[in-house]
Amino acid sequence: MDRLKQCIAMMDEGIGRVSGIIPQMPADEARLCRLMLMLGQDIEEELESELKPNKLNHSEFLTLMILYSRPDGISTPGELCEYTNQGATNMTRIGNALVKRGLISRGSGASDRRKVVIRISAAGRRMVQKMLPPMFPRLANMFAGFSATDKRQLDRLLRKLAGNLDQLGESRHP
């Protein structure tokens, strides 16, 4: 039996036992949360294996991808922290590593010289263009057996969950 299948079977048994002891436990919701956490970790590990040959970690790659996808290739440290879910200290470390490799640069904002902007370099663009195509087959294989309808439905449900999480976050941080 595959590792994830074993983990899922053990999770199902555990949730079944706990919900037998504590009947008001929302077992379906607990199961879904645990599944997403498990799968998220494995998805990240799969993607990290593609990044290792390029000496990048997931946070560095995500930072490059955000900059690459911006029309002007520019963002601010605050935006990058928010979009990558990293703290300021870790984003500084990520930025330093990418600057050292010549993949991004730091500078002042055009309209406000006090504002720090981060820009993807030509070398950073080339790195992304080189790295992405070999990742496509692995990404496609993760969703093998999913119909276009399955993928749209999963996308819709995950976005719905994201909206719920935003609302929870707002109630936690009024």
Model pLDDT, residue 50: 86
Model pLDDT, residue 93: 94
Model pLDDT, residue 132: 93
Alpha-carbon distance of 122 to 75, in angstroms, equals 16
Domain 55-143 sits in CATH 1.10.10.10: yes
Contact criterion met (CB below 8 Å) for 54 and 101 = no
Model pLDDT, residue 68: 97
Residue 1 has pLDDT above 70, yes or no: no
**Region 60-79: what's the mean pLDDT?**
94
The type of residue at 71 is P
Helices (H), the chain: 3-21, 27-51, 58-69, 77-84, 88-100, 122-142, 148-172
Model pLDDT, residue 113: 73
pLDDT in tens, 81-135: 999 989 999 999 999 999 999 999 998 777 777 788 999 999 999 999 999 999 9
As beta bridge partners, residue 51 has: none
Task: State both tokens at 29.
Answer: 């919701």
Task: State both tokens at 73.
Answer: 């290739």
Q: What is the pTM assigned to this prediction?
A: 0.82
The rounded mean pLDDT for the chain is 92
Give every strand in the sheet of 104-108, ordered side by side.
74-75, 116-120, 104-108
**Region 26-54: what's the mean pLDDT?**
92
Model pLDDT, residue 174: 61
